[in-house]
Amino acid sequence: MLQTRAMLRGSRLLRPVSRTFQIQTASISKVCDSASEAVARANVKDGDTLLVGGFGLCGIPMACIKTIQDNGTKDHTVVSNNCGVDDWGLGLLMQTKQIKRMISSYVGENKEFERQYLGGELEVELTPQGTLAERLRAGGAGIPAFYTPTAAKTIIEEGGFPIKHNSDGSTAIASEPREARVFNGRDYIMEHAITGEVGLVKAWKADEYGNLVFRGTALNFNPECAKAAKFTIAEVEEIVPVGSLKPEDIHLPGVFVQAIVQANEEKKIEKATITEESDGIEPAAKTDKTSPRERIVRRAALELEDGMNVNLGIGIPTMASNYLPDGVTVMLQSENGLLGTGPYPKEADLDADLINAGKETVSTIPGSSIFSSSESFAMIRGNHIDITMLGALEVSGNGDLANWIIPGKMVKGMGGAMDLVSSGSRVVVTMEHCNRKGDPKIIPACTLPLTAAKCVQRIITELAVFDVTPSGLLLIEISDETTLEDVQAKTGVDFEVSSDLAPMQQA
């Protein structure tokens, strides 16, 4: 017969024990009076590895960064998605040359970052964004390494990519090759976890124990950086007493935070983009309806079907969402941690804590959700996104893609592109048919470092639409603005012409 806890067990009756718990908030307070005090508690010293949250200028611990700058510690390895801009965020530490090595996914528009790297003054480990987020997550979870399909069969796997240049442009320090394995017929490479001495993160609210609540897409890399550090400083806008935050509303438990400081530094917006004209602010992108870009965008929009979860890359792909067919609703995923990206906001609704992966101000739509960077790339890597659309520098006849670097000339970084095109989702490339010199961008083999091998399923240009098939390229649509002979002359590889060749469609 089954017995309950209220029944006899042996000769004793079990009864609940009444205990009174008293929370002594002062004894568990981690609050510091200033960023200087918090950094002093962390004992930041020369050579420390700093894990710094933020994406662009969104969710960056600015007061702590300024304090590190003022203290003058140097030779830091800094792990952060990017390095701010030249005169704000981690760009300040770049200017004062306090950073020895950056581990990032994106250089972006930071000219000093690019200059120091190409000039041999700075060590840079360019790491796919999803891999970076997972390396931090794994570090905080006590997992030393993991396998990922991202960057398999690229220079990341092969090694030899310049981490540091000599003054003459040759390689002073090269990346190490990755261990590779095959699981279930698919290529994977091993990546090591990241940990650091000090984490610098930015949150909206904290209680005195260090429980954190983030606001909008400022969540980004902050939880991952907090978890992977031995000592984490949380820079917050508001500190409340213990017990003021509902347990279910807390994004990051206080066990991962050792110091808290209230600071309300200016929140700068890297790309303030709105839906209407306004002095000093960039309006939403507009194109000439007869331009090549417009033809690409309108054709690309037809790839988006009702109910899809979609990731659109910066530039032409993002613009495709402006031309969705009637009755089509898609959930746009932005890899900085937003599913359900809405239109650009009106000027009055600009919000520094709500941006997309292009650092543009955006809004949300009903049904949107916000999450951290590691959750975002779990969504991507786990093949939960239906279609990825992005631009390219080169595409080969068998679907290889190169779109993230021109060695020695342009260093933007791969961002999330390597993760997206290795995820198993459908990959559509949108690009102009030729480069600025008039040379074909569709070529027999990519000459630039690959983003991924054999990942592209469809190519859309202003002249034509190609499908990538096991036997090569198949021309399926052609623009009214061109001829078959012109397409052949401007395409660097041979292709088959579909028996059902159709005029290029437009949304």
CB distance 100 to 74 below 8 Å = yes
Which tokens hold the place of 449? 């470092």
CB contact burial 324-340 (16+ within 10 A = b; e otherwise): beeeeebbbbbbbbbbb
CB distance 189 to 180 below 8 Å = yes
Angle between helices 129-141 and 373-381 (to 10 degrees): 110
Alpha helices in 33-125 (DSSP H): 35-42, 62-71, 91-95, 111-118
Q: In Å, what is the CA distance from 419 to each residue of 57, 88, 130, 308?
A: 22, 28, 6, 19
Torsion sign over Cα 226, 232, 237, 240: positive
- Catalogue the E-assigned strands of 193-308: 196-207, 212-213, 229-240, 259-262, 273-274, 282-283
Beta strand 426-430 with 458-460 is parallel
CB distance 295 to 364 below 8 Å = no
Active site residue 335: yes
Catalytic option among 125, 235, 335, 375: 335
* Catalytic residue set: 335
